[in-house]
Amino acid sequence: MSLRIGDTAPDFTQDSSIGKIHFHEWAGDSWVVFYSHPADFTPVCTTELGRTAKLKDEFDKRGVKVLALSVDPADSHRTWIEDINETQQCEVDFPIIADADKSVATQYDMLHPNASETVTVRSVFFIDPNKKVRATITYPPSTGRSFAEILRVIDSLQLADSHKVATPVDWQDGDDVVILPSIKDEEEIKRRFPKGYKAIKPYLRITPQPNK
């Protein structure tokens, strides 16, 4: 099964580094970044999990819970976390799913046989409070993720939901945004975007980021 944007993120119950996780119950009303790792005790994954732990305040202020996954058992995860904390100078306090039977990886299409038959690729799922998949990113096992990009995607998705805008190429938090083409009524535009806008083309209208 291949998950697409707009699909409901599959629910599951699986062991983890902190005990059994009932995914939808654990997620609650939060956004979730759910991402997979090829295996425990691997170098790139160690740096990624360490970076995630150091970004705890950034995820917290966005109302995001982080959930990782590896196809190794929970005892292995807990021993690996000790290494991560030591080598990355951090404190991993988010759960890592122990997907030894690969059931969750299969539901989320994290196993790509042409890349590897035994380990997961580096998938990232952005899941909103309604349990909908809002964005995905997939890297090969050899390429570490950009967590600056992960935070940028979260900011873009949350801004789009709250203000009916889209974010243009290379957008960073605080940059100008574009008004959705579906908003045509001038009174609504004035109400939503009191800072005004510049119409480069009828379909390309630039406005300052509304929540700044």
**Tokens found for residue 211:** 């929540």
Whichever domain contains 68, its CATH number is: 3.40.30.10
Note whether 46 and 89 are same-domain residues: yes
Q: Does the model's pTM come out above 0.75?
A: yes
Note whether 121 and 27 are same-domain residues: yes
Number of domains present in the structure of the chain: 2
Of 90, 113, 144, which one is at a domain's C-terminal end? 144
End-to-end CA distance of the chain: 40
**What confidence tens digit (pLDDT) does each residue in 79-116 have?**
999 999 999 999 999 999 999 999 999 999 888 766 66
pLDDT score recorded for residue 115:
60
**What confidence tens digit (pLDDT) does each residue in 25-62 have?**
999 999 999 999 888 999 999 999 999 999 999 999 99
Note whether 84 and 181 are same-domain residues: no
On the 0-12 / 13-18 / 19+ scale of CB atoms within 10 A, 183 is middle
Note whether 188 and 120 are same-domain residues: no
Whichever domain contains 202, its CATH number is: 3.30.1020.10
Which residue is catalytic, options 9, 45, 69, 121?
A: 45
Note whether 87 and 168 are same-domain residues: no
Residue 212 lies in a domain: no
pLDDT score recorded for residue 111:
81
pLDDT score recorded for residue 125:
97
Instruction: Give the domain extent around 84.
Output: 13-144
Angle in degrees, 0-180, between the axes of helices 43-54 and 147-163, rounded to the nearest 10: 50
Is 45 known to be catalytic?
yes
Least confident among 8-12, 34-38, 62-66: 34-38
Check residue 15 and report its DSSP letter: -
Residue 117, pLDDT above cutoff 80: no
Note whether 92 and 29 are same-domain residues: yes
What order do you get walking across the sheet with 122-127 strand by strand? Answer: 96-98, 64-70, 31-36, 122-127, 133-139
Residue 99 lies in a domain: yes
pLDDT score recorded for residue 1:
57
* Helix H or strand E encompassing 200: strand 198-201
Note whether 96 and 193 are same-domain residues: no
